[in-house]
Homo-oligomer: A and B are copies of this chain.
Amino acid sequence: MDTAECLKRVRERNPLVHHITNYVTVNDCANACLAVGGSPVMADALEEAADMSGISDALVLNIGTLNADKVKAMILAGKAANKKGIPVIFDPVGCGATSFRNRMAEELLKQVHMAVIRGNVSEIQSLAGKDAQTKGVDAGTTSGLDEAAATAKALALREKCIVIISGAKDIITDGNTTILITNGCPEMAQITGSGCMCTTVVGTFCAACSENLFDASKAAMMAMGISGEKAWAAYGVQGLGHFHMGLIDYLGKIDEEMIAKDGHFENG
């Protein structure tokens, strides 16, 4: 499915995307989902997590501010999503930083089949079992692109899913096919939530294009990267607060033409 077609489907289908996510960037995620063409719903009570996934088109699980109850709700929602056959998108925020976080992430992978995992390089390395030095959630790049891609492929094959590593070049792989998205700008790391919003955008595209999650992921990462580039070009001179708002602006304005003209990828 080509990238423009993916975006068109998101806008036409207006998919409902259930999030169990952190309280730091949840507002940004809701606005990113709405802007790009989805409908967000956030619900993490144990009593309704499964029911909410049962009426949704995708489930996003983000462990930014996890706790034991939230992980229980994620497992209930994840199992319901797996049963219904809707994609589950996992953001292992801060994985590698504490042993509790590592344990919870492992438990989630054991209990729920993830369709897509998206993180930065140290989070993905940690999840894949490599020693990684995590510095908060923005994480330092400790390995080169090839090593990161190899880790992503190994994790994708192990978990039978798509793995995305965000970075200067985003890696997308299902273990066999690998591509690199060269959109985006470094300033995205200077506002909180650009990683979380990225996962939400992937979730929204996957919700609308569940027939082809690889193409949906590619289109989502391009849409996010192009929006970041354009927002920085338009508002960088004003500063990070305006850039933040500009990112939401462009997630709403992005269209098939921008994607055709400005989307860039390489085979990895």
Contact = CB atoms under 8 A, between A and B. Distances in A.
Contacts of A34: 190-192, 240
Contacts of A136: 16, 39-41
A125 interface: no
Nearest to A17: B136
Given A16-B136, A27-B25, A136-B40, A48 B101 contact: yes
B244 A45 contact: no
Interface string A21-62: 011111110110011000111111111100110010000000
B191 A98 contact: no
A144 interface: no
A66 interface: yes
B23 A252 contact: no
B244 A239 contact: no
A267 interface: no
B97 A41 contact: yes
Nearest to A67: B45
Nearest to A20: B65
A255 interface: no
A43 B241 contact: no
Contacts of A66: 45
Ordered nearest first, which 6 A-B pairs have the shortest CB separation? A239-B249, A241-B248, A241-B245, A30-B192, A48-B100, A47-B100
5 contacts: A40-B192, A48-B97, A241-B245, A241-B252, A242-B249
